[in-house]
């Protein structure tokens, strides 16, 4: 197999940069709450502004921290259930959990989490939908 030329490498890098910009835009503009975390210790790698706004934390206050240290889980057992399901099934789909905002207010989420394997740096991607208002309406 022939080695790629410098022009081919540059084109491939440009293509990857375009793809990265598209994914970053989707991440940033999503109305879903999105969190990326390291599976080893649960440290938050990135969040979108929707999650930051819903929790009352700034992105800077969240990145590098652990959700349990921040008190985001009302019931740590819910986090343990998410992790156990991930280990067993590799994915969590539409699990309703009760979280807490920075101000201590209730935040009901319908949560999906998936492991993204990578030999260098695997991550967990959690996507939540705020169902707090819906739950208040039906109760």
Delimit the domains of the chain by residue range: 31-138
Instruction: Report the pLDDT value the prediction gives residue 95, as an integer from 0 to 100.
Output: 94
**3-state SS string for the chain:** CCCCCHHHHHHHHHHHHHHHHHHHHHHHHCCCEEEEECCCCCEEEEECHHHHHHHCCCHHHHCCCEHHHHCCECCHHHHHHHHHHHHHHCEEEEEEEEEECCCCCEEEEEEEEEEECCCCCCEEEEEEEECHHHHHHHC
For the chain (139 residues), the mean pLDDT of every run of 10, in chain order, is 89 93 93 94 95 97 95 92 91 95 96 91 94 86
Confidence (pTM): 0.87
Instruction: Report the pLDDT value the prediction gives residue 96, as an integer from 0 to 100.
Output: 94
Instruction: Report the pLDDT value the prediction gives residue 92, as an integer from 0 to 100.
Output: 96
Q: Pick one of 1.10.3720.10, 3.40.50.720, 3.30.450.20, 1.25.10.10 as the CATH number of 31-138.
A: 3.30.450.20
């Amino acid at each position: 197999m022939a080695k790629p030329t410098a022009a081919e490498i540059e084109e491939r890098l440009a293509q990857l940069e375009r793809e990265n910009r598209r994914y970053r835009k989707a991440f940033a503009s999503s109305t879903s709450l999105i969190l990326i975390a390291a599976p080893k210790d649960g440290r938050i790698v990135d969040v979108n502004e929707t999650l930051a706004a819903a929790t009352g934390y700034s992105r800077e206050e969240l990145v590098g921290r652990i959700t349990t240290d921040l008190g985001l889980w009302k019931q740590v057992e819910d986090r343990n259930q998410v992790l156990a399901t991930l280990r067993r099934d590799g994915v969590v789909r539409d699990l309703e959990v009760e979280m807490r905002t920075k101000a201590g207010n209730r935040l009901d989420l319908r949560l999906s989490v998936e492991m993204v394997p990578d030999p260098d740096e695997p991550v967990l991607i959690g996507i939540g939908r705020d169902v707090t208002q819906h739950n208040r309406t039906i109760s």
